[in-house]
Structures are given as C-alpha cells and as structure tokens.
Structure 1
Amino acid sequence: MIYSYFQAQERLSSLLERALSEGQVKLRSRDGRVFIIRPEQPIKSSPFEVRSLKLPINKADILEAIRESRARF
C-alpha cells in the first residue's frame, strides 16, 4: 500500500512500526514522487559475523588448496 504525504504526517509512528514489520513503507508526495522508508539494519558487533562470498569453487577445489598449502609448509 502506498500512503499519501498527509497520511504519513498523521500516522508517522504507526508507519515506522509497519516498516519494521513489513520491511518497507511507500509514501507518495503531492507531486507524485514515491519514497520508500526502510528500517536500517543494526551494525554487526561480532567479528564472526562476516559477509559470505559466492565463488565458483567446489569441495575438491578447497581440498586441493589445503593440500597445496600444507605441502609448502
């Protein structure tokens, strides 16, 4: 659902709660532009929370890299 600017002014608190529960809320300004309010994700505090990388490697490639590394040392 897209809310008008006037509706957003009247119900800002409830719209922010809805953005939290649904992921985002759309607002339409008087001139027709549409804006999206999306909650920001909290900053990760643990050093173990890292983003993963999608690489075209498989189990055999990983095992081969480990063997090569062990052979060098």
Structure 2
Amino acid sequence: MRVYTYSEARQNLADLLDQAGEEGEVRIRRRDGSEYVIRPRRRDGSPLDVPPVNTEVSTEAIVAAVREGRERATR
C-alpha cells in the first residue's frame, strides 16, 4: 500500500483515487505523523438492483417470446 505525503496527495489527487480504487486503500501522512486512509465507499445493495423500465409489454407477450425462443433453440 502506498503512503503519500500531504503535498503529494494534494498534487496527485486523481492518481491517488485511482490507486485507492485498485488497491483498496491509500494512506496520507502529514508532517506531524498523523495518517489518514482513503478508500472507496462500498455500494449499498446489490449491483443487480436496477430501476424498472416501463416497456408497456404484457407478461403474456414476454412469456410468449421466451417460449418462441426456446422452441427455435430445440430445432
């Protein structure tokens, strides 16, 4: 894990954030010896949680399309 000085972190913020995203965390050390950790925030919920899309297609039409696709695959 890379440790940046405060000045390096200030000058290279974009690189620091990229590195934190790749490695999990990056530390910043100040002159007085205090250290801070920068790490990406974890998302709440699943990445599969997506907002619904209103297609105005009925359930019956979707089921019929799936059945048709399955019939074609078995031929």
State if a TM-score over 0.5 links the two structures: yes
Runs of 4+ in structure 1 displaced over 3 angstroms?
none
Q: How far has the Cα of 1:30 moved from its partner?
A: 1.9
Uncovered stretches (5+) of structure 1, i.e. residues with no partner: 48-73
**Equivalence for 1:38:** 39
Uncovered stretches (5+) of structure 2, i.e. residues with no partner: 50-75
Equivalent pairs, count: 47
TM-score (norm 2): 0.57
State the percentage of identical aligned residues.
38
| CA–CA separation in structure 1 for the residues paired with 2:18 and 2:35 | 19
TM-score (norm 1): 0.59
After the TM superposition, which residues 10-25 of structure 1 pair with which residues of structure 2 at under 5 Å, given as runs? 10-25=11-26
- Structure of greater Rg: 2
